[in-house]
Amino acid sequence: QVTLRESGPALVNPRQTLTLTCTYSGFSLNADGMSVTWVRQPPGKALEWLAHIDWDGDQYYNPSLKTRLTISRDTSKSQVVLTMTNMDPVDTATYYCARIPGQCSPSICSSFGYFDFWGQGTLVTVSS
């Protein structure tokens, strides 16, 4: 059974750094072409893709937020961590992590690209 769960602070001060952790189970991030991604959603607004990290540790970022984001993984703990620097009230949102499925053949791994399992999300409010 695949599950993902986000954790982190509910309230962050402006200009602080946000650190969110996604703890996953039911799959391995360093095998089978799997990836984990982060998505956010400001209240009443659309989904925004932030970043993802794939099975061999490669990282990909939303170009508009790239300078503020870092995604990393600890496969021994089944965790993916997202940090976002210089938080602003406009960064107030529900932050989700999700799995991107994939597959590996003997010679190559490939990602399927879409997000098939999601965490329940964690609301982060940026305010002093």
Partner 1 sequence: DIQMTQSPSTLSASVGDRVTITCRASHYISDWLAWYQQKPGQAPKVLIYDASTLHSGVPSRFSGSGSGTEFTLTISSLQPDDFATYYCQQFNTYSKFFGQGTKVEVK
Binding mask 67-96 for partner 1 (x = CB under 8 A): -----------------------------x
Which one, 89 or 113, has the nearer CB to partner 1? 113
Output the CA torsion sign for 124, 121, 8, 102. Answer: negative
From the list 78, 24, 26, 84, the residue with the least C-alpha distance to 51 is 84
Cα distances (angstroms) measured from residue 18 to each of 46, 55, 83, 89, 109:
21, 24, 5, 12, 32
Which one, 58 or 106, has the nearer CB to partner 1? 58
Residue 37 interacts with partner 1 (CB under 8 A): yes or no: yes
Question: Which of 12-20, 23-31, 80-88, 109-117 is the region at the interface with partner 1 (rule: CB under 8 A)?
Answer: 109-117
